[in-house]
Homo-oligomer: A and B are copies of this chain.
Amino acid sequence: MHAILRARSPVWDPGPVTTPPHGLRERKKQATREALREAALRLAVEYGPDQVRVEDIAEAAGVSPRTYNNYFSSREQAIVAAITADRETRIAAAVAARPARVRLADAVTEAVVKHYTNTGEREHEALLLMTTRTALRDAFLDATADIEPPLTAVIAERLGDAGPHTARVLAASVAVAVRIALEGWLQLTGNAGAAGNFRAGGLVVPSGSLSDQLHAALSPLAPAFDVAERHTQP
């Protein structure tokens, strides 16, 4: 299985605080990135996901195949990125937008739930396409990890640099909870829509809407947020 949606090495890099040096260069790269995303999704929808080769996507975007892999490190990433696009930024911004008096746990949960339930028709159609192909579904689930860095930043701001790893651990936990919720939801829509919870192998597998899944997965983390928050502002 292909792991990861992030091209960079996983070792923590705080990243530049100020805007990167060459603003114009950067915009061009983003344009290329978007062109690749769009081309990938369009071709995947039109011809079916596994009929699209990297070569095709690159050509449609006007770059060499090798350049494709400078932007996306797997064939599936570009397709997934077309759907997830600015998810990370949006969720982080939504959290930051909440007034400081609401519980951080609630702010995060609401931001996440709102994002995932507000997905338009285009995404929903594409999702059905993805869930049928194992590699695509894996890449889609792996993409949840991308919310970690921006979420870390916004949490760290709210917490005022509590413990060393605190913000990052909370952000990463949210990401992994979202992943679990999505897995549960996909499994439901995949199987027959049996309502109600049922037992399987000694574990409770929850049923319900995506919103239910997200709430169920995120709620166990709320106490961690509460304590971290209280720790900074008694």
Contact = CB atoms under 8 A, between A and B. Distances in A.
B227 A161 contact: no
Interface residues of A, number: 68
A74 interface: yes
Contacts of A201: 14-17
A116 to B, nearest CB: 15
A138 interface: yes
Interface stretch (A39-47, A87-95, A167-175): A167-175
Copies of this chain per assembly: 2
A169 B176 contact: yes
Label chain A's interface by main secondary structure.
helix
Contact of A3 (B4, B218, B219): B4
Interface in A9-64: 9-12, 14-17
A103 to B, nearest CB: 13
A99 interface: no
Contacts of A14: 200-203, 205
Interface in A196-232: 197, 200-206, 213, 216-224, 226-228
A163 to B, nearest CB: 6
A12 B177 CA distance: 13
A56 B138 CA distance: 29
A180 B173 CA distance: 11
Given A3-B138, A224-B224, 11 more contacts: A2-B2, A2-B4, A3-B142, A163-B220, A164-B205, A165-B206, A166-B216, A169-B177, A169-B221, A220-B224, A221-B224
**5 closest residue pairs by CB, A with B:** A3-B3, A14-B201, A164-B206, A173-B173, A223-B227
